Amino acid sequence: MAKLSFPIGPQHPALKEPENLRFSVDGELVVDADIRIGYVHRSIERSCSERNFVQDLYLCERVCGICSNAHTLCYAMAVEKLADVEVPVRAQYIRMLMHEFERIHSHMLWLGVAGHEVGFESLFMYVWRDREVIQDILETVSGNRGHYAMTTLGGVRHDITPEMETKIREGILYLRERAEYYAEIVTTEATFLKRVSEVGVISGERAQELGAMGPTLRASGPDYDVRTYFPYLQYDQINFSVRTSQLCDVLGRTLVRVEEVIDACDICLQVLDKMPEGEIQERFPRKVPEGEAVARVEAQRGELIYYIRANDSDVPQRVKIRTPTLANLPASLEIVSGGYIADIPIAFASIDPCFSCTDRMVVLDDVGTGDSRTMTWPELVEISRNR
């Protein structure tokens, strides 16, 4: 039978973000997949080398709306390494707390979406209702439900007060209990299992070879987690295990994420127990000495890496960002290949893709009419300057 090729997108089959997928199908089976990204390219890396180090912190936060804290954290870690500034221990614990809060909210968001994709709407509603608890905690601590702006160069911007701590403990204990309930649901509910078990399979060896990161990689066996490989902040003081699964399918990825929510709750409680008193900010110089630094953090979707080169001024010469979704893309194409057309949304969503992150960098595409119009770089610069 002749192979048929069809496009999906630029609206994502599962999440509300733009990219264009092309599938070759043989009957109901997907035999090949290709992806076209760049619809939300915003030139962030270039813009970073035109702004000073403090302004870049706010720019990097806007690379992604879901993992915004991981971006500022990674950026700040790289700049602090260059400027040789030691962050106060209390600030490091608060950063960890925010890092884990974000992991909880992001994994719960994903679990809800996964429930929606497989037609399990009550899971979606339950999970998203419970996710409000962590959103309230985030708002209590930072003042915002998204783009928390907690990290600053040399520390964090807000301290944790005893009242906050009480509220955090209450919320986290509730969430832990709920996460355990969801772990039970996703492993026992037949309607869910039938849609995710042995769907979107990729072997551990292949996932590692293709550079997959985070839960996508760990659900196939390898245990690469930046928190244990390169313990940053105070992760070496905390007891936690890296969650892996040998299932290699969407169920494996779901389990790894749900278990990571339980772990993140435990980490938060440990952090609150161990957090010492003290300063939360260290003075930070305006100029950063010449040099280059690489920083990695384990964002919820996988390893996030920043490369920054400074040249003894207040503006970085180069900021390079590699987000986890870009690392997971080659693997994701393999994940959907070999499966059924009906499984495309959940299989593709199982890497928890985020295209704002991936594109980062500028195109005006009139999707409605199919016309695409490209602006030249000088034109764009002109527009941005005249705003």
Nearer CB in complex with another protein: 5/372: 372
Check binding of 329 to another protein (CB under 8 A): yes
Shortest gap between Cβ of 371 and another protein (angstroms)? 11
Give the integer Cα–Cα distance in Å for 202 and 198. Answer: 10
CA distances to 150, 186, 224 from 221, in Å? 34, 19, 9
Nearer CB in complex with another protein: 162/378: 378
Q: Which of 317, 337, 340, 341 binds another protein (CB under 8 A)?
A: 317
Q: Which of 128, 174, 230, 240 binds another protein (CB under 8 A)?
A: 230
State which of positions 351-380 bind another protein (CB under 8 A): 358-361, 363, 365, 372, 374, 376-378
Give the integer Cα–Cα distance in Å for 365 and 368. Answer: 9
Residues 6+ apart with CB under 8 A from 365: 10, 39, 372, 373
Give the integer Cα–Cα distance in Å for 245 and 324. Answer: 19
Count of residues that bind another protein according to CB under 8 A: 48
Q: Are 348 and 20 in contact (CB under 8 A)?
A: no
Q: Which of 17, 56, 61, 303 binds another protein (CB under 8 A)?
A: 303
Residues 6+ apart with CB under 8 A from 211: 327, 330, 331
Environment class of 188 (CB within 10 Å of its CB; exposed 0-12, middle 13-18, buried 19+) = exposed
State which of positions 210-229 bind another protein (CB under 8 A): 210-211, 213, 222, 224, 228-229
Give the SS3 label for residue 50.
coil
Nearer CB in complex with another protein: 231/278: 231
Please report, as ranges, the residues that interact with another protein according to CB under 8 A: 37-38, 41, 43, 45-46, 49-50, 208-211, 213, 222, 224, 228-231, 294, 296, 303, 305, 307, 309, 311, 313, 315, 317-318, 320, 322, 326-327, 329-330, 358-361, 363, 365, 372, 374, 376-378, 381
